[in-house]
Amino acid sequence: MKKRVITNIVSRSFGKFASHRFHPVLQKFINISYVKLMKLDMSEFKKPKEYRSLNELFTRSLVKKRVIDIADESIISPVDSLITECGRLESDRLLQIKGMEYSVKELLKEISAQNINRILDGEYINFYLSPRDYHRYHVPCDMQVRKAVHIPGRLYPVNLRFLKKKLNLFVENERVILECLNKEGVLFYIVLVGALNVGEMVLTFEERIRTNLDPDIKVYEYEDLWLKRGELFGYFKMGSTIVMLFEKESVELRVKSKDRVKYGIEVAKFKKG
């Protein structure tokens, strides 16, 4: 059996287990055990026993909304995560981790050559979410979503150990690509990358995307879909990775590789003019 099939089946099976609501006593034990095993910081969330399944715990919402008090041109981290790599693309090449390059053109399938050319030599940031992180993702800046592309693929792990040994990991894994513009028309992309045991990548504005189920590439286009900075736009069921890519000479990064960030803090800033 092909490895692609095995990893997808494992992920679907885990997703079924995680979404199952066990007897409250057993569910409480599972939740508390997971929190202890993964060393989750639950200070911003409900108590572990209050979640009716592991999926509810994985996709937990904040009890209190975080205050975002930064400049209008600031780009916030969409997630709580580790920055595995960031910097400037070398033409169309970027890093999944030091020493492991891959191609933007291969990552951004179904995106026009004209728009890919606008990204070449631009800035990028990789956000890695471990299983212990808050799994919801939020809008990094006021933005228009012009297109969503669902690309089925493999579900390899995206942890640091696997990033160091598996070439073209982000290119081979299942992913959802969002083509976006800011208020000034700057082009950027948000790429949600699937991983082993990620049962679903959910978008709040697009229910037709069914990850780890639909075998065909699907493209969805939007006329006037605007999202506000800080707004929830979806969640991973388990940890995974987000890659952001920006039009050439459009942003200044405010983070570096190996920084830990939380949703709501500034990670980059659009250049004025």
Q: Please, which residues bridge with residue 261 across strands? A: 81
Q: What is the CATH number of the domain that holds 181?
A: 2.70.70
Question: CA torsion, points 102, 108, 109, 111, in degrees to nearest 10?
Answer: -150
Q: Which of 58, 82, 102 represents a domain boundary (last residue)?
A: 58
One domain, residues 173 and 232:
yes
Active site residue 214: no
Residue 109 phi, psi (nearest 5) = -65, 150
Q: Which of 16, 33, 58 is the last residue of a domain?
A: 58
- In a domain, residue 32? The reply is yes
Is residue 150 annotated as part of the catalytic site, yes or no? no
Strand stretches in 67-118, DSSP E: 74-76, 81-88, 93-97, 100-103
Q: What are phi and psi of 202, to 5 degrees?
A: -105, 135
Residue 260 lies in a domain: yes
Domain identity same for 89 and 11: no
Check residue 157 and give its pLDDT: 54
Q: Are residues 37 and 134 in the same domain?
A: no
Please give the pLDDT value at position 196: 65
Return the C-alpha torsion angle 190, 95, 264, 187, nearest 10: -40
Amino acid at 87: G
Shared domain check, 41 and 97: no
Strand order in the sheet with 201-203: 136-138, 232-236, 201-203
What is residue 163's predicted lDDT score, i.e. its pLDDT? 53
Q: Are residues 47 and 79 in the same domain?
A: no
Backbone angles phi, psi at 171, to 5 degrees: -75, -35
Question: What are the phi and psi torsion angles at 57 (to 5°)?
Answer: -70, -45
pLDDT at 99: 53
| Structure tokens that stand for 145 in this block | 């979503």
Q: Are residues 98 and 38 in the same domain?
A: no
What's the number of domains the chain is made of?
Answer: 2
Which of 58, 89, 105 terminates a domain? The answer is 58
Residue 168 inside a domain? The answer is yes
Nearest to 66, CA basis, from 258, 268, 269, 266: 266
Catalytic residue among 77, 138, 150, 250, which? 138
**20 carries an active-site annotation:** no
Q: Are residues 163 and 41 in the same domain?
A: no
Q: In this structure, are 127 and 241 located in the same domain?
A: yes
> Which stretches of the chain drop beneath a pLDDT of 50?
1-4, 97
Which residue in 11, 74, 240, 250 is the catalytic one? 240
Domain assignment present for 105: yes
Residue 241 falls within a domain, yes or no?
Answer: yes
Alpha-carbon distances, residue 59 vs 18, 46, 52, 84, 202 (angstroms): 11, 12, 12, 22, 10
Catalytic annotation, pick one of 11, 74, 80, 133: 80
Same domain, 54 and 81: no
The whole domain housing 163 covers 74-270
Is residue 26 domain-shared with residue 132, that is, in the same domain? no
Residue 65 falls inside a structural domain:
no
**Judgement on whether residues 54 and 122 belong to the same structural domain of the protein:** no
pTM of whole model > 0.75? yes
147 and 197 share one domain = yes
Give the pLDDT of residue 255: 97
Question: Does residue 227 lie in a domain region?
Answer: yes
Domain membership of residue 40 (yes or no) is yes
For residue 46, what are the CA distances in angstroms to 30, 94, 132, 241? 15, 38, 15, 25
